[in-house]
Amino acid sequence: MSSQQPNSIEDVFDSSLNLEETHYNKGYSEGYSSGLASGRDEGREVGLKTGFEVGEELGFYRGCIDVWNAAIKVQPNCFSSRVLKSIKQMDELLQNYPVSEPENESATDIVDSLRLKFRAICATLNVKLEYTGYPRSSNVENSGF
């Protein structure tokens, strides 16, 4: 019986050591799963917000192009050939934007090119059109709401 006693004491210490490792592994596993879930949710929110902002900016440029094209239909000579070419290039950039492929690396380049073309057209026409997006919290007081 005395030979079993040391074994049971060793078993108690082994189970204590294993208990700490078991709790560590369980805590790590739960933390990892929780981190994945919260990271996925946060990523979805950021993606939706960014996608909405880009879509809104692209819509602004589409509206400007549509207005300029309507003016061209009414009076074909209202813009210089340089402006007409820039409007056409902006229209092509918008049509080539990879809407269904948000991870496409060319999307950023297209938006940058659209911004440059837009500023060039506005400068040539001597108009002050500007895409500012949603009003920031500091601008809400001045918005009249």
Per-residue model confidence as pLDDT tens digits over 13-54 = 666 667 777 878 888 888 888 888 888 888 888 888 888 888
pTM of the model: 0.67
CB of 113 within 8 A of CB of 134? no
Which backbone phi and psi does 136 adopt, to 5 degrees?
-75, 165
pLDDT digits (tens, 9 = 90+) for 81-98: 999 999 999 999 999 999
**What is the spatial distance between Cα 85 and Cα 145, in angstroms, rounded to a whole number?**
40
pLDDT digits (tens, 9 = 90+) for 101-139: 878 888 889 999 999 999 999 999 888 887 777 544 444
Residues 6 or more apart whose CB falls under 8 angstroms from that of 102 comprise 47, 51
